Structure 1
Amino acid sequence: MGEITTSPARPARPGKAVSRRGRMGTPAPAAAAGRRAARPALTPSLGQKLRYRFDNALARGPAVVIGWLALVTLAIFVLAGLLFWAFRLDGVNGAGPVGNPAEGIWQAMLRVVDAGTFAGDTSWPMRLLSLLVTLAGIFIAGSLIGLIANGVDQRIEGLRKGRSDVLETGHTLILGWSPRIAAIVAELVVANESERDAAVVVLGNEDKTVMEDALAAAVPDTGTTRVVCRSGSPSRAADLRMVNLAGARSVIVMSAGAGDADVIKAVLAIKTLDAEFAGPRVIAEVGDPTYAASLEVLTDGRVVTVNSDHVIAEITAQSCRQSGLSQVLRDLLDFEGDEVYFAPFPELTGRSYGEALGAFERCAVLGLARADGTVLVNPPAGTVLADGDEVIAVAEDDSTFRCTGIATHEPPVPLVATDEVPQTTNLLVVGWSVLGPKVVREIDQFAVPGTVVEVVVDPALVDPGEVRVDGLLHTDLRVHTTSAGPDELAGLVADRPFDQGIVLSYRDAVDAADGDARTLLTLLALRRAWPAGGPHAVRIVAEVLEREDVELAQAGGVDDWIVSDEVTSLMLAQLSERTELAQVFLELFSPDGARLSFRPAQRYVGGEPVPYGAVVAAGALRDESVLGYRTADGSVHLNPAKSEVVALQADDQVLVIESRG
């Protein structure tokens, strides 16, 4: 082994300090501090300072620059005017020298604003000085024109970006951009027809022009309603001030972008400006029932939530249960035709609910609102109206919601006194989405034991293992997999004992256009297997994602349809006008609440024509609120006059609200 030797230390070079940590170490603190102290400080020149200030002025916008130019202009003609007077320059406009400083400043100003003024000067000293003043004026005038034009362009661009303040008051404010907004705006336009100066303001993260173009294409005629769009974040308090949240009549918070997360942030942003939610009423679209319940509890019920999937599922289930119910529910949700109203009638205090049912000639009473805020939909006929109670009724307009006095109609003798016995049914469901389990659960609420629901799904779009619904009480769920081609689907359902077909869109797997295209093809295939009017005719209910595809679905043979986005939009629009309706719809859409039903007319009347008020009285004997009737041809007559004489036949039906037993 060799020996390990060490070389002698190399002496330090003269004049060079050696670090205490060696050549590769960091410099000693004292040495480093000495070098930092020796670095010369930056001393800007006067020119650099002036340029720095000038650049800052330009960055602040054209208004600041215009102000500086105005000061420069003032300095030029003041200085030039004093020179005219101080040096006694003659030849000013062909005359002698100016007599005082004010006249000199005036002559200088004329040469700044008008380049042709100095043409009348006769002496060369005056001509040269006037030329310099005029050239300075030309430069300043050109700069001002450019700055003003640029300022106007910036203002126009700012307006296009939608960042200007909204000065509307009493408007409906929609937070968040969604394709469903077009349906909401269309309904609000109808609701505002009686108002001369109404406004709807939309605040979304989209470009202002994009939102305006989309709404203009969907709602070309807005009548007396102005539609104002602004670009911004619904979760920023500053943007909510921009759209005048405090002056709004109602606020609709849409589930867009990140869904429920954005809704919750927007509601909290509203709370920063209105801590007690004492200002505009707030309606929020929330998908998660847990979030919806939390929002209502934490805001003491001042924020009304709408679960779109639950509403769509309930209406779909109602449509499957009985034909025509989806049409009635749409009529109650939109602003066209008859609507639901609340109003107090002191003259009915002490009277029973059964008597109140016949006390309105042009209104169909459906419930009571107690003085403590409790809503009773279809209470027992013997319920007594107390002081402060309000009547809930379907009326054509609030002007027709008038009590015409207690009327006594003798109930006719019915041909059928017993209720029909529910029968088991076999339902076919084609397609699946997050809405599927909700629809099946709602169907199960109305079903009798032995009901079978067979689901057909395309395995390329939905995993068959995920098609399950827990907690069913009366329904047996069976799953089939197929690509749902026309021949394959027709062969699957041919000669099968189905009572009804439901077509659901694959909304979770494809976009709206593709989803509706699949729905239309499925309708054609089912109608091929179940021809309308044939021995195997089966009623088909379909979910349509886009309103413009309804006409095509009707051509495809659908009996009832539900436009998913439209239903939610209608409810949001209704609640933005009257939040008290939330309890009515909640009761109608609750599994344990009241429900709409078509009942055979023979349960209420005999074979003779009777006043419609007598049919209402017959319903009151059964603790049912009668809203109208449906003839055998499928037409629904909602809220007819009590004095109207009707001749209901065996195939006709009476529309009632009944308690679920």
Structure 2
Amino acid sequence: MSKFMQNKIQPLEEFQETVTSNPFSFSDKFQYYYERFITRRSSFIFLNLLIIFLFAYLLLLSLHLIFYQSSWQASLQGESLQWHVFLEMLTPARLSVLRAPPWSLLLLSVITTFVGFGFYSLLIAYVSAKTQETVNLFRSGLGPVIEQNHTLILGFDNRIPRLIQELNYSNHTKQKHPVVIMFDLEKSVMDQQLSPEIESFNRVRVNLASGEPSRLNSLHRINSVAAKSAIILARCSHTASLSEREASDVRVIQTVKALYKTQKTEYRYPIVAEIFDPKIREMISALDESIITYDSYELIASILVQSAIFPGIERVYNELFSFEMSEFYFYPHVPENSRFGDLICHFEDGVPVGVQHPNKQITMLPSVDYIFNQGDEVLLIARDDQYIKYSAESLYQSTTYYSLEHPRVFSSQDVLLIGWHYLAPSIIRECCRRLPLGSTLTIVTPENSEELMRVISEIESTDRFKIIHEHRDPFIFDELEYIDPFKFDTVILLSKGDHIDSEEQMDADTLMLVLLLRRLRDKQIGRQISTRIVTQLFRPENEQLIDNQSPQTGDPVDFVLTSKTSTMLFTQLSEEGDMVQTYKLLFGECTYEIALCPITDYVKIGDHSLSFIDLYMSALCRGEVCIGFKSDMMEIRTAPYSGMYLNPPKDQAFPFSENDELVLLRLNSDRE
């Protein structure tokens, strides 16, 4: 070895000798282990106090026995010295028991009392600190949540109050349904935002927990293994940048995987996750049928277009998605060999619309002669599952009044789309799938974008309808007047563009457009206006800023769509995960649709009254299902129906008029 290396190694050996020759002292080791002991758990502090008390008691008792045994025997008159010393540590009143004690004994008694005071002062301090620690732990949301059969909401945004409201409606039991909300925020912050909005919900019990939902220890802390369902919200809105949306998808995927790992293999409850990227949604959903992923705003685009085609259809979806009135249910107790066309007469509450087979596949609008097999479940629209009951005997009889007229052919429509943001491509694709043949879609934007031109080039290749693009600024009144929105059948209002990264700013743009349209309408003196105007707002609270009670005198907006609709669907899917196939058929695959059609296309209107069973049978003969009707009858126009009555009583007669419409579930191809 070289001298250089020897010189380098020698100091290290000297250092090792120094360390070995100077070990830690006993007091250092005792202090180290003592500090580790009392800081491991708060209960160890109490144990430490108890040990100190016992040591002090034994020491003081020994002093009394050694030095003053004869004096104590004379003073206590037969009382136990051990008991007296213990009581003397509790209260100074024991000093009065001594009779003519020597001053040294009196001094020892005083010392004993002060030692007792010191111990109890420490005990009071410990109890206070422990109480404060418990309160702080509760306020921080870091404590365990011991709930069973609860709904998890992992995420936090302005949709939380609506989610809790829907869960409140869904609970028809006397016990409060537990809901646990977890997000990486302080509990006090979440509580401050939620408390004013959820304090009136008396059917749910809300627990707030602070923590990262994608971590296993956080999920164990809220007892996720015993949950009933889970809703995972995106970490940002659609207005966020691409990088923020990708980061949100990553977090949601991590949360799904962590939540899936905590579940029991024999019991997989529904996990509803909001993911932006369609490829990731498809990949995650393929892991297990209990994992449900979708983009809430694609649903909004579909409903927005449908509400433009069928005025009032939004009220149908609001009822179907909510737990307040009628919604979709599966009912398994249908006897084998039952005929689908006869089921309507065997349910007092419920409208049969389809069949779920044992492999969880759904057949909407099965043949009238379809025979139920073992394991088949009927898909119904009913008020609540507790009211669904199959009757072995037929409860109703139908007298069908067929119409001699042919069903109405849907005429083409001229639709105007004002503005452009991330929802616009989905709206255009929905128009392509749902607008009648020969329709025209005019897009007016203040600026061009690559995405706009790409979507237009894709749609122009189809011959289903015509698309026109006008480069004008609709936020300038003269430009808007030149466009003349009121010559179109329907106008869809959006904000300026994707360059705006705030939902409030985008809603402000939409509200500005509403004001400009109101000003333009007021200039149309003597002109008959029948244009239907629909729009979308990101913030549900901004809906109150639009005065659309009377579109003829107030704001000229017939319908405002907000995230409340998608929130209701979120909640329903978490309660009944198998229902996702139903909504995929209605929205994703667009195979079926809910439409409004004139009642005169299905039954004859005369002096006679008709019951709902008559409407159902007339539609069923055409391969469609009637689930309700739209009417101007006084009892139907008022709340809670607002002119739309789903799942009405089957034997009640209604005085229909020629202006009434049926709410039908039908094949989308029927409109081509």
TM-score range, shorter chain: 0.7 to 0.9
Paired letter, 1:562: L
Structure 1 residues 604 and 60: alpha-carbon distance in aligned structure 2, compared to 1, 3 A threshold:
same
Offset at residue 312 of structure 1 (A)? 1.3
| 1:445 pairs with 2:433 | yes
Q: Name the structure where helix makes up a greater proportion of residues.
A: 2
Structure 1 residues 37 and 336: alpha-carbon distance in aligned structure 2, compared to 1, 3 A threshold:
closer
Match of 2:117 in 1: 138
1:530-580, Cα deviation, whole Å (9 max, x unpaired):
4699423310111122223323324323212211x2122111111122122
5 Å-filtered alignment, 1:59-208, equals: 59-92=39-72, 96=74, 103-118=80-95, 120-121=97-98, 122-208=101-187
Offset at residue 523 of structure 1 (A)? 1.6
Paired letter, 1:380: S
SS at match of 1:350: coil
| 1:642 pairs with 2:650 | yes
Q: 2:452 aligns with which of 443, 456, 467?
A: 467
Between 1:400-409 and 1:196-205, the stretch displaced more is: 400-409
5 Å-filtered alignment, 1:353-368, equals: 353-368=340-355
Match of 2:192 in 1: 213
Match of 2:551 in 1: none
Match of 1:12 in 2: none
Paired letter, 1:639: N
Paired letter, 2:581: Q
Between 1:353-362 and 1:61-70, the stretch displaced more is: 353-362
SS at match of 2:92: coil
5 Å-filtered alignment, 1:252-651, equals: 252-256=231-235, 258-274=247-263, 276=265, 278-299=267-288, 301-347=289-335, 349-403=336-390, 405=394, 407-423=396-412, 425-448=413-436, 450-459=438-447, 464-468=449-453, 469=455, 471-472=458-459, 473=462, 474-481=464-471, 484-485=474-475, 487-488=477-478, 490-494=480-484, 497-505=487-495, 509-530=500-521, 534-555=527-548, 556-563=555-562, 565-608=563-606, 609-612=608-611, 613-631=613-631, 635-651=643-659
Measured in 2, the distance between the counterparts of 1:600 and 1:188 equals 35
Offset at residue 592 of structure 1 (A)? 4.0
Measured in 2, the distance between the counterparts of 1:467 and 1:402 equals 52
Structure 1 residues 80 and 506: alpha-carbon distance in aligned structure 2, compared to 1, 3 A threshold:
farther
Paired letter, 1:313: A
Measured in 2, the distance between the counterparts of 1:236 and 1:207 equals 17
Offset at residue 116 of structure 1 (A)? 4.0
5 Å-filtered alignment, 1:22-61, equals: 28-37=7-16, 39=18, 41-61=21-41
Q: Indicate conservation of the 8 Å contact 2:177/2:204, yes or no.
A: yes
1:74-102, Cα deviation, whole Å (9 max, x unpaired):
1122122122122235554xx626799x9
Offset at residue 442 of structure 1 (A)? 0.7
Offset at residue 481 of structure 1 (A)? 4.8
Structure 1 residues 458 and 159: alpha-carbon distance in aligned structure 2, compared to 1, 3 A threshold:
farther
SS at match of 2:261: helix
Q: Indicate conservation of the 8 Å contact 2:68/2:105, yes or no.
A: no
Structure 1 residues 511 and 495: alpha-carbon distance in aligned structure 2, compared to 1, 3 A threshold:
closer
1:17-46, Cα deviation, whole Å (9 max, x unpaired):
xx956xxxx872343345434545544444
Between 1:165-174 and 1:442-451, the stretch displaced more is: 442-451
Q: Indicate conservation of the 8 Å contact 2:308/2:534, yes or no.
A: yes
Measured in 2, the distance between the counterparts of 1:247 and 1:442 equals 40
Q: Indicate conservation of the 8 Å contact 2:586/2:593, yes or no.
A: yes
5 Å-filtered alignment, 1:9-24, equals: 20=3
Between 1:394-403 and 1:429-438, the stretch displaced more is: 394-403
Between 1:331-340 and 1:309-318, the stretch displaced more is: 309-318
Identity %: 23
Q: 1:659 aligns with which of 650, 664, 667?
A: 667
1:355-376, Cα deviation, whole Å (9 max, x unpaired):
3345445432221222332211
What RMSD over aligned residues (CA atoms) do the two structures have, in Å?
Answer: 2.8
Measured in 1, the distance between the counterparts of 2:137 and 2:377 equals 49
SS at match of 1:71: helix
Measured in 2, the distance between the counterparts of 1:535 and 1:143 equals 85
Measured in 2, the distance between the counterparts of 1:505 and 1:148 equals 58
Measured in 2, the distance between the counterparts of 1:421 and 1:253 equals 40
Structure 1 residues 37 and 163: alpha-carbon distance in aligned structure 2, compared to 1, 3 A threshold:
closer
Measured in 2, the distance between the counterparts of 1:326 and 1:591 equals 19
SS at match of 2:363: strand
Paired letter, 2:185: E
> In the comparison of the two structures, how many residue pairs are matched?
629
Match of 2:241 in 1: none
Between 1:316-325 and 1:380-389, the stretch displaced more is: 380-389
Between 1:587-596 and 1:470-479, the stretch displaced more is: 470-479
1:569-624, Cα deviation, whole Å (9 max, x unpaired):
11111112212221111111134411111112221122313423222222112111
Measured in 1, the distance between the counterparts of 2:323 and 2:307 equals 21
The TM-score with structure 2 as length reference comes to 0.86
Measured in 2, the distance between the counterparts of 1:466 and 1:373 equals 38
Measured in 2, the distance between the counterparts of 1:345 and 1:144 equals 63
SS at match of 1:223: coil
Offset at residue 625 of structure 1 (A)? 0.3
1:125-171, Cα deviation, whole Å (9 max, x unpaired):
21222232223222222222222211211111111111222221111
Structure 1 residues 481 and 647: alpha-carbon distance in aligned structure 2, compared to 1, 3 A threshold:
same
The TM-score with structure 1 as length reference comes to 0.87
Structure 1 residues 34 and 437: alpha-carbon distance in aligned structure 2, compared to 1, 3 A threshold:
same
Paired letter, 2:626: V
Offset at residue 54 of structure 1 (A)? 4.1
Which residues of structure 2 form unaligned runs of 5+?
237-246, 549-554
Offset at residue 323 of structure 1 (A)? 0.6
SS at match of 2:645: strand
| 1:243 pairs with 2:231 | no
SS at match of 2:126: helix
Paired letter, 1:412: Y
Measured in 1, the distance between the counterparts of 2:146 and 2:8 equals 63
Structure 1 residues 340 and 448: alpha-carbon distance in aligned structure 2, compared to 1, 3 A threshold:
closer
Offset at residue 494 of structure 1 (A)? 2.3
Structure 1 residues 387 and 507: alpha-carbon distance in aligned structure 2, compared to 1, 3 A threshold:
farther
Measured in 1, the distance between the counterparts of 2:479 and 2:647 equals 42
Q: Indicate conservation of the 8 Å contact 1:283/1:304, yes or no.
A: yes
SS at match of 1:467: helix
